[in-house]
Amino acid sequence: MNIINVTQADFQQQVIQRSQQQPVLVDFWAPWCGPCRMLTPTLEKLANEFNGRFLLAKLNTDQNPNISMQYGVRGIPNVKLFKNGQVVDEFVGAQPEAMVRQFLQRHVAAAGARPAQPQANQQVPQDADGRLRLAKQYLRQGKGCDAQSLLTNFPAGPLATSAQQLRPLADFLCQVSRGQQISSKTDLDIVYRQAADAIRREPSAALYNLLVILHQEEAAHKQRPQAIMQAIFALLGDADPLVQQYRQQLAAIRI
């Protein structure tokens, strides 16, 4: 089956979990949307043509507004490609077939290509410096669980503090990728997930969303978004203007 319909009830299973094995292309659409009706035949044609190299999942935004809000859908059609539980690319609007084909070819393995070996089978650097560099690379790619495995039981030494600073970000991204609840408040849980989605592509948006959470969260629960922000600071480095900007704003909030 190359094409399925998904809802909020089965999104975790059909999109997040299945994207661990194959790319899942989610088409956010609505019945009243004219451009959606123009794009859908193109997506379905390519899904059948690629024949299992990706899964097309169609989600009606009118019937599933929470999922649409969670993933920042503001205009439709909005098409997002999921890999390993995360959005890795997207486009908006009724794009021509040639553009959609190029979009897919950037992310979907060619027919007959040998699948990449699972991340767990790759050689893990034994030295602390190598482990820390690889963990940072994974975090920039949004691969929280891979980073978490490198930062867990990190070797003692001068780099251990740096590894500890990154751990809240790795734990957060890993929890999101597994579809686990972050906040008991539904509105803040959505903002958390928007922050996780933005870290790879737009760190400024991630920091902004975490700052929003800090302003709205109860005092007893402010420590986590603060720790995640500080982990992003450590990932970006002190010289990054974003770090200087948001560090000042963080300092102004009474934790």
Q: Do residues 129 and 99 both lie within one domain? A: no
Average pLDDT over residues 171-184: 82
- For residue 28, the model assigns a pLDDT of 96
Q: What is the mean pLDDT of the chain?
A: 87
Catalytic residue of the set 26, 36, 132, 211: 36
Is residue 3 classed as helix, strand or coil in its secondary structure? strand
User: How high is the pLDDT of residue 84?
Assistant: 84
241 & 148 share domain: yes
Q: What integer is the mean pLDDT of 105-123? A: 56
pLDDT in tens, 63-93: 999 999 988 888 899 999 998 888 888 888 9
Q: Is 33 a catalytic residue?
A: yes
Q: How far apart are CA 55 and CA 37, in angstroms?
A: 19
Name the domain count of the chain. 2
Q: What is the residue range of 23's domain?
A: 3-105
Eight-state DSSP code of residue 89: E
For 227, the 3-state DSSP assignment is helix
Domain final position from 73, 105, 137? 105
Asked whether residue 113 is domain-assigned, the answer is no
In the predicted structure, residue 12 carries a pLDDT above the cut 50: yes
Q: Is 44 domain-assigned? A: yes
Percent of the chain with pLDDT over 70: 93
Amino acid at the residue 190: I
- In this model, does residue 15 exceed pLDDT 90? yes
Candidate list 15, 16, 25, 33, residue with the active-site label? 33
